[in-house]
Structures are given as C-alpha cells and as structure tokens.
Structure 1
Amino acid sequence: MKWRMLFFLIVQRFIELYWAKRNERWMKERGAKEFGQNHYKYIVCMHSLFFVSLLLEGIRKRPSPLWSVLFNIFVVLQLFRLWVIASLGRYWNTKIIVLPKAGRVQKGPYRWFRHPNYLVVVLEFIIIPIMFQAYWTAVIFTMCNAYLLSVRIRAEEQALRLLKSP
C-alpha cells in the first residue's frame, strides 16, 4: 500500500504540473502577468525534497498503525484539492499568475478561505509523513513550508492588489 501511495502522489504532482503549464499558457495568451518567480524555484525544490525525504526516512518503516484513519483524511484532502482546482478552473496554477481585471474567484472553498489550496498542502505535509512514520520529514518540511508559504502568500496578495479589477 505504501508504494502505491507514493506512486500516486508523484503521478498526481506531474499531472498537476502539466495542467498548470496548460493554464499558464492560456492565461498568458490573454495578458496575464506572473509574479513571485524568485521564490517559486524554492517551492519546487522543497516539494521535490519532500518526496526524497519521505522515501529515505519511511522506506524501512512499516506504515503507521493509524494508516486507515490517516488515509481517510488524505482522501478527504484530495477531494478538497479537486474542489479547489475545479473552483479556479483555468485560473488554477502552481505559479502566481494573475489576469488583470479578472476579479477574484469567490466560488467553491474561496467563499470561506482566501487560500484553500495552501491549507491542503499544509495538512498533506503533516498527514503524509505520519502515514509513513517519517516524523522528521513531517517536522522539517512543515517548518520549511510555513516559511515559504509566508513569502508566497505575501507575493500573491501583492500581485492581486496590483492587478485587481476597478
């Protein structure tokens, strides 16, 4: 089960990158501007190293005794992630790309949260390593993610303020 889970996560991330690139092209063809390029490479690096750390720390360990509970939480997080992506539609991306005068999305989970996708990522960085009993990975990457998200959310909010509709 552990290997299938890891395979699923990696395939999921590659599909998301493909979808994000497709959305990026669509948005830029319509005049969208990109922000936060300086920190994006660190986010990609952190997410890549997360999988390496998860694999190295969790490879010889049995799955958590709480696997079934944690797996159910993980499934709910994935459904929430799909809701976030569907709510943003063509505007969803892994980068900060803003289409001038498009207005802020106010449907789906965006009615209640300003950054629901980041909530999913925060929870995944805790839940997934615990599923693998990779506790150091959970602690280290949760801290790194908290710092990078503080940078990212500031950049995203600034971009939205600069290009908001009149």
Structure 2
Amino acid sequence: MIGIIVAVIFIIRLYFLKISRANEKRILQEGGKEFGVKNTKYITILHILFYASCVVEHFINGTKIDTIGIIGLVLLGFSIFMLNTVVHLLEGIWTVKLMLVKNHKFNNHWLFRTVKHPNYFLNIIPELVGLALLCHAKYTAIVIMPLYAIVLYRRIKEEEKILAEIIIPNGTY
C-alpha cells in the first residue's frame, strides 16, 4: 500500500514538473532569466535520491501504515495542497528552478507576506518529512535530510538576494 501511495505522490509531482517546464520555457522566451543553476541541480538530485531512498527503506523494512505513517500521509497531503496553492498564486511564473520573468514583481498575497518562502517551508519540507514518516525511512532522514537542508538554505539565500535586489525594487502586484 505504501508503495502505491508513494507512486501516486510521485505522479502528482511529475504533473507539477510539467507545469514548471512549460512556465520555464515561456519565461525564457519572454526575456526572463534563470539563477542558481548549480544549486538547482543539487536540489533535483537530492529530491530524487530522497524519494528512492525512502522507497528502498520501505521495501527493506516491510513497513505498514501505522500512526507514524498516517502522520506522514497527512503531511504529504498538506504539502501537495500548499504546492497547488503556491502554483496558482504565482499565476504562471512558478518553476522548480529559480527563475524571474522580465520586470518581476513581488506577489503581495497574504501567504507571501506572512510566510517567507512558502514553497519551501509549507511544501518541500512537509513533503520530505511526510515521505520519511510514511516509509519509516529513518536512515534517509538522518543522511539525506541534512544535505537537502544545506542546498535548500543556499537556495533561500539566493532567493533572498534576488528579492532584495531585483523583485522588491520592481514593486508589487
């Protein structure tokens, strides 16, 4: 059952990746730019590695859905809901990459004013924690999560710099 749930979550993530790729293509065609290419590669590798490692731990341990797994499932559901929310709020400019449209402005929605980087704190982190809990992947959490935290910290720092130097000076919408 857990394997099926992880496969469904993975398919949902592929759907959002398709949205990202379409947005990336359009952003570049309209004169936008990509930043932090190297760090994006690390994030991508670690995300795939995290999923694969969780699945391997699940199959090695033969984990079943229990209270911890249900908590993980709730976190995964929350993360998908928040991913969908962020994608819709960013109206066609959301990507998994760090990209800016030409004359990028700050989205003044209450979510972005209240939670800095909701895509990371309300989507990615709950997704990773939820997946690790669902699969009882303690070694994945111990080994890969700290590495992911480092690259996510770097991404947030890159984004903070771009926000301060480019986006905020362009105004809000």
TM superposition score normalised by structure 1: 0.90
CA–CA separation in structure 1 for the residues paired with 2:102 and 2:53 = 39
CA–CA separation in structure 1 for the residues paired with 2:70 and 2:50 = 22
Q: Which residue of 2 aligns with 1:19?
A: 19
Residue pairs, 1:40-55, within 5 angstroms? 40-55=40-55
Q: Which residue of 2 aligns with 1:147?
A: 150
The answer to whether the 8 A contact 1:39-1:152 is kept is yes
User: Which letter does structure 2 place at the counterpart of 1:63?
Assistant: K
Q: Which residue of 1 aligns with 2:33?
A: 33
CA–CA separation in structure 2 for the residues paired with 1:51 and 1:87 = 27
1:34 alignment partner, SS class = strand
Gaps of 5+ in 2: none
Superposed CA RMSD = 1.7
Q: Which residue of 1 aligns with 2:64?
A: 63
Structure 1 residue 113: Cα displacement:
1.2
CA–CA separation in structure 1 for the residues paired with 2:127 and 2:38 = 24
Identity of aligned residues (%): 23
1:22-79: CA deviations, max 9, x gaps? 0011112221111001111111110111121111111142224213343233222221
Gaps of 5+ in 1: none
CA–CA separation in structure 2 for the residues paired with 1:80 and 1:108 = 14
1:134 aligns with 2:124: no
Q: Which residue of 2 aligns with 1:116?
A: 118
User: Which letter does structure 1 place at the counterpart of 2:154?
Assistant: V
The answer to whether the 8 A contact 1:98-1:160 is kept is no
1:70-99: CA deviations, max 9, x gaps? 323322222122111111121100001112
CA–CA separation in structure 2 for the residues paired with 1:59 and 1:12 = 21
User: Which letter does structure 1 place at the counterpart of 2:141?
Assistant: A
How many pairs are equivalent? Answer: 166
Q: 1:93 aligns with which of 92, 95, 98?
A: 95
Q: CA, structure 1 residues 108+89, in 2 after alignment: closer, same or farther (shift >3 Å)? A: farther
CA–CA separation in structure 2 for the residues paired with 1:140 and 1:105 = 35
TM superposition score normalised by structure 2: 0.87
CA–CA separation in structure 2 for the residues paired with 1:22 and 1:108 = 26
CA–CA separation in structure 2 for the residues paired with 1:152 and 1:5 = 29
